[in-house]
């Protein structure tokens, strides 16, 4: 994969910048909130040191061009709102997976749709991806809406794929092809 250049990314209201260790306290607030992590891949965080280790892995992964983990920061207030990522790159097929998390205090303002739209643009234009994938818990309708607003299509359902704590859940698989993303952008301009 090409190097992760031209960072940070900017939108009208947000800056998407590489994760930093000082993000750990905001991430801990989000990742320890039961409602925020309801459909996350791990149970609520219990200690900020576990989040500090995750942030350090994100920093190391970016330096090694393995994955891109970006903090979502409000441009006016400087508040860290959440994060979004491209990871699981498969260079031969030019594909990657996308993940995201938004702190509960920031839900309902369109921030995640705005952040992921910019991350998708970066993936297709700067990283020359052919396909971006996402998997979500099918009960997470707000997450499905974020993907659908960005042009993703649900392509399948994997039954009982995740076990987090004692809860077993399905996975809804979504995909977005570069050609479909480009066609949508062209029709929006026309």
Tell me the HSE value of 107 on the side-chain side, using a 13 A CA sphere: 12
pTM recorded for the entire structure: 0.93
The per-residue pLDDT string of the chain (190 residues; one tens digit each, 9 = 90 and over) reads: 668 999 999 999 999 999 999 999 999 988 888 778 777 777 788 999 999 999 999 999 999 999 999 999 999 999 999 999 999 999 999 999 999 999 999 999 999 999 999 999 999 999 999 999 999 999 999 999 999 999 999 999 999 998 877 889 999 999 999 999 999 998 887 7
Helix axes 24-31, 48-63, angle to 10 degrees: 120
Query: How many CB atoms neighbour CB 103 within 10 A?
Result: 20
pLDDT confidence of residue 68:
96
pLDDT confidence of residue 186:
87
Cα separation of 35 and 20, whole Å? Answer: 24
pLDDT confidence of residue 39:
73
H or E element: which one contains 68? strand 68-74
pLDDT confidence of residue 163:
85
Using alpha carbons, select from 14, 27, 10, 16 the residue that is nearest to residue 103.
Answer: 27
pLDDT confidence of residue 2:
66
Cα separation of 160 and 167, whole Å? Answer: 9
Cα separation of 62 and 53, whole Å? Answer: 14
pLDDT confidence of residue 1:
62
Those residues with Cβ within 8 angstroms of residue 123's Cβ, 6 or more apart along the chain or in another chain: 86, 96, 98, 129, 132
Instruction: Give the chain's radius of gyration (CA, Å).
Output: 16
Tell me the HSE value of 50 on the side-chain side, using a 13 A CA sphere: 10
Tell me the HSE value of 122 on the side-chain side, using a 13 A CA sphere: 25
Answer yes or no: are the C-beta atoms of 165 and 147 closer than 8 Å: no
pLDDT confidence of residue 100:
96
């Amino acid at each position: 994969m090409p190097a992760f250049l031209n960072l940070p990314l900017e939108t009208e209201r947000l800056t998407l910048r590489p994760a930093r260790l000082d993000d750990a306290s905001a991430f801990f607030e989000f990742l320890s909130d039961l409602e925020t992590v309801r459909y996350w891949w791990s149970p609520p965080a219990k200690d900020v040191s576990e989040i500090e280790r995750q942030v350090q892995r994100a920093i190391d992964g970016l330096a090694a061009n393995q994955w891109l983990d970006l903090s979502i920061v409000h441009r006016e207030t400087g508040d860290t709102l959440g994060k979004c990522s491209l990871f699981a790159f498969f260079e031969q097929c030019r594909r990657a997976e996308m993940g995201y998390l938004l702190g509960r205090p920031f839900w309902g303002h369109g921030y995640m749709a705005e952040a992921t739209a910019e991350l998708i643009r970066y993936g297709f234009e700067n990283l020359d991806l052919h396909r971006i994938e996402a998997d979500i818990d099918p009960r997470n309708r707000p997450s499905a809406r974020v993907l659908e607003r960005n042009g993703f299509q649900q392509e399948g359902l994997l039954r009982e794929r995740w076990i987090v704590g004692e809860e077993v859940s399905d996975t809804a698989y979504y995909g977005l092809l570069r050609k479909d993303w480009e066609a949508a952008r062209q029709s929006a301009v026309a």
